[in-house]
Chains A and B, each alone.
Chain A
Amino acid sequence: MWISNIVVSEQLIEQAVLLASFLDTTITWLGEVPAGLKLNSQLVHFLELFFRYHIHLFKGYLVMISSYMPVIIYSISLTCIPGLTCLLSYLLSFSVILLLHIHCFYAYACNMYSAQLKALVSLGRLVAGVKYNPLRGRVDSARTSGDQLILGTLIFSTLLFLFPTTILYYCVFSAVNMALVGTQMCIVTGISIIRTCPIGDVIKVLCKDSSVICDVMIEPLARQTDNSTETAAHASPGNVFVVSAVYKTLGACLRQTDLGNYKLSFKEIRTKCMKGQIIKISF
Chain B
Amino acid sequence: GYPDNYTDNELFLKSLSKNKNLQTYSFKECAYQGQFPLQQLSCTIAFFLLHFMEITVSDSMLYVMAFVTVIGYLAIFGYSLHEIKTVVLFGGFLFGLSPIIQTLTKTISDDTIYAMASICLLINFCLHDYSSLSGDYMSKCISLNAAIFAAVCLASRLDDLNNVLGTIIFAILIYGVLPTLRKKTADLPFMPVCTCVFVVSSLYLAYLSAPVVIYPILMSTLACLVVIPLSFVQLQKQKDNIFGPWDEAVLKELGCKAGADRDISAE
Cβ–Cβ contact A154 & B148, under 8 A: yes
Residue from the list A149, A154, A155, A161 in contact with B141, Cβ < 8 A? A149
| Chain A nearest Cβ from B211, distance in angstroms | 32
- Least CB distance, B184 to chain A, in whole angstroms: 13
Which chain A residue shows the least CB distance to B180? A146
In the complex, residue of chain A having the shortest beta-carbon distance to the beta carbon of B109: A38
Contacts of A162 in B (CB 8 A): 104
Q: What number of A-B contacts does a CB cutoff of 8 Å give?
A: 77
Given A144-B141, A146-B180 in contact, is the A154-B97 Cβ separation under 8 Å?
A: yes
Of B108, B141, B152, which contacts A128 at CB under 8 A? B141
Q: Whose C-beta in chain B lies nearest to the C-beta of A42?
A: B103
Which of A127, A152, A161 has the most CB atoms of chain B within a 10 A radius of its CB? A161
Interface of B is mostly: helix
Decide: B152 and A40 in contact? CB cutoff 8 A. no
Is B93 interfacial (CB-CB < 8 Å)?
yes
Roughly how many angstroms separate A41 CA and B102 CA in the complex, as a whole number?
12
Shortest C-beta distance, B97 to chain A (Å), equals: 6
Chain B residues lying within 8 Å of A155, measured Cβ to Cβ, are 97
* Cβ contacts A to B, 23 pairs, < 8 Å: A38-B107, A40-B106, A41-B103, A128-B141, A128-B145, A142-B141, A146-B180, A147-B176, A150-B148, A150-B172, A152-B145, A153-B148, A154-B93, A154-B94, A154-B148, A154-B152, A157-B148, A158-B100, A158-B101, A158-B152, A161-B105, A161-B156, A162-B104
A151→B90 contact, CB < 8 A? yes
A129 is an interface residue with CB less than 8 A from chain B? yes
B139 contacts partner chain A, Cβ-Cβ < 8 Å: yes
State the CA gap A129–B144 with chains docked (Å): 10
From residue A272, how far is it (CB to closest CB) to chain B in Å?
29
State which of A40, A141, A144, A153 has its C-beta within 8 Å of the C-beta of B104.
A40
Please indicate the chain A residues that have their CB under 8 angstroms from the CB of B94 in the complex: 154
Interface residues of B (CB under 8 A from A): 73, 86, 90, 93-94, 97, 100-101, 103-108, 136, 138-139, 141-142, 144-145, 148-149, 152-153, 156, 168, 172, 176, 180
List of A residues within 8 angstroms of B152 by Cβ: 153-154, 157-158
- Residue numbers in A under 8 Å from B142 (CB-CB): 127-129
CB pair A40–B93 under 8 Å, yes or no, is no
Residues of A within 8 A of B104 (CB): 40, 157-158, 161-162
Q: A147-B86, A153-B149 are in contact. List 19 more A-B contacts (CB 8 A).
A: A38-B108, A41-B103, A41-B107, A126-B145, A129-B141, A147-B73, A147-B90, A149-B144, A150-B90, A150-B148, A150-B172, A151-B90, A153-B145, A155-B97, A156-B149, A157-B152, A158-B152, A161-B104, A161-B105
| Top-10 shortest CB links A-B | A129-B141, A38-B107, A153-B148, A161-B104, A157-B152, A153-B145, A127-B145, A42-B103, A157-B149, A147-B86
* Inter-subunit contact B107/A40 (CB<8 Å): yes
- Give every chain A residue within 8 A of B138 (Cβ-Cβ): 129, 141
Residue ID in chain A nearest B156 by CB atoms: A161
CB contacts (< 8 Å) of A41 on chain B: these are: 103, 106-107
**A141-B138, A153-B148 known; A146-B103 Cβ under 8 A:** no
Cβ distance B70 to chain A, nearest Cβ, rounded Å: 12
CB of A221, distance to nearest CB on chain B (Å): 66
Interface pair A151/B93, CB less than 8 Å apart: yes
A143 within 8 A of B: yes
Let me know if A202 is at the binding interface, CB within 8 A. no
Q: State A142–B106 Cα separation when bound (angstroms).
A: 34
The distance in angstroms between the C-alpha atoms of A39 and B105, with both chains bound, is 9
Q: Judge whether A150 and B86 touch: CB under 8 Å.
A: no
Contacts of A146 in B (CB 8 A): 144, 176, 180
